[in-house]
Amino acid sequence: MLSDSSQSEEFHKSEHWKSKLLDFKAIVTLSDGRQRSNSLSGGERNRLVMRSGDGFVDRSLVSGVDCREDARSFSLLDYDNDGWVDIALASVNDKRLRLFRNRFGDLGAKGRVVEVSLQGANGDARVSQGFSNRDAVGAVLTVVTSKSKRAYRKSIGEGMAAQNSGRIRITLADEENLKSLSVRWPSGKVTKLEPLPDNKRIELFEGASQ
């Protein structure tokens, strides 16, 4: 702006150009060995939205996930192996890690969760033309139940520097049963499982006879 020829002489010779309009000072306080600072995105409460029938319901308050910490990422897992998905929440300030246990089973909720683990046949670090990667990333699991047909894609990364459990979770309503599973592996091979065992966890291996 100072070099703008369209401005007046009074504008160019103003004393304000010589004054310090901004004076940045970095003040860091150390207490018990940890650096503390203000968050640029603090005060933004977390949200937990759950499916309910034909819509969604905000359960942030009753679940406790709307805590005051500056949250950065979360991971979904069943840490206590009770069949219900729990949440691990990571923040940049205290508390650094919170673990939220899913208590639907304790409260008598109907329905259940079946977890499916996929494992590709390539056990080598090198790319194989005939077999899928060991973690089966990119595989598509097609699920047929007594009430619906669904498809799930196997992935590993979720959100910011986070990774969910490697198991694919299939949620079943009350009196809903699994009919069949079909996996299209990244290699192009297809594995089908029918009839299904009445288990909480099912493991599928590429190339194995199920």
pLDDT digits (tens, 9 = 90+) for 82-120: 878 899 998 887 778 899 998 877 887 777 888 899 999
pTM above 0.85, yes or no: no
DSSP class of 12: H
The reply to whether 22 falls in a domain is no
The reported pLDDT for the residue numbered 184 is 95
Q: 135 pairs with which residues across the strands?
A: none
User: Looking at the 3D structure of the chain, how many domains does it have?
Assistant: 2
The reply to whether 18 falls in a domain is no
Distance of alpha carbon 151 from alpha carbon 164, whole angstroms: 18
The reply to whether 32 falls in a domain is no
Q: Which domain holds residue 201?
A: 112-205
Based on its alpha-carbon atoms, the radius of gyration of the chain, rounded to whole angstroms, reads 27
If asked whether residues 200 and 119 sit together in one domain, one would say yes
The reply to whether 24 falls in a domain is no
The reply to whether 79 falls in a domain is yes
The reported pLDDT for the residue numbered 1 is 55
Distance of alpha carbon 4 from alpha carbon 75, whole angstroms: 54
Cα torsion 59, 63, 65, 66 to 10°: value is 60
If asked whether residues 200 and 122 sit together in one domain, one would say yes
The reply to whether 187 falls in a domain is yes
60 φ/ψ angles, rounded to the nearest 5 degrees = -65, -45
180 φ/ψ angles, rounded to the nearest 5 degrees = -160, 155
Please, what is the Cα angle at 142 between 194 and 109, to 5 degrees?
A: 85
